[in-house]
Amino acid sequence: MNLHLIQADNAIRQDILIHNEDELIHAMNHFELRGGGGTDFRPAFEYVNQLCAEKKFSNLRGLLYFTDGMGTYPAKRPAYDTAFLFLGERFDDANVPPWAMKVVLDEEEFTGAAARPQSTLADALAEEDDLYRDLNNS
């Protein structure tokens, strides 16, 4: 596993590199929201592009961006698939670029996944992976 949990608003605020399920569980259990300023999605894309150029990814499958949608989007499509994920009904997807996928997550279902016992965390991650594959193939 090579997962970057990146927090950004108008700049990169944190990048946690996760290699395995134990590190993922630790990150989830100790998660603290960073930033909160005006949102500009472009620095996050520039950062991911830099990681790609530095060969930090061998096969980047895509970028999942959790957001309320209120921010400045990149004008140009990146070289990797991108999905903007919105939680519940509190979002603005009017300016999502046509090259990006839009996914609205049910807030109760999503927050319930975080409360699942660790023994089912792998199942929850597999469900998210299936969702990404379904979006990628549609």
Neighbours of 48 (CB within 10 A): 24
89-93 mean pLDDT: 85
Query: Confidence class of residue 13 from pLDDT cuts 50, 70 and 90?
Result: very high
Confidence (pLDDT) at 59 = 85
Task: Please give the Cα distance from 83 to 106 (Å, whole number).
Answer: 16
More confident site: 48 or 127: 48
Task: Please give the Cα distance from 32 to 67 (Å, whole number).
Answer: 16
Q: What's the pTM? A: 0.77
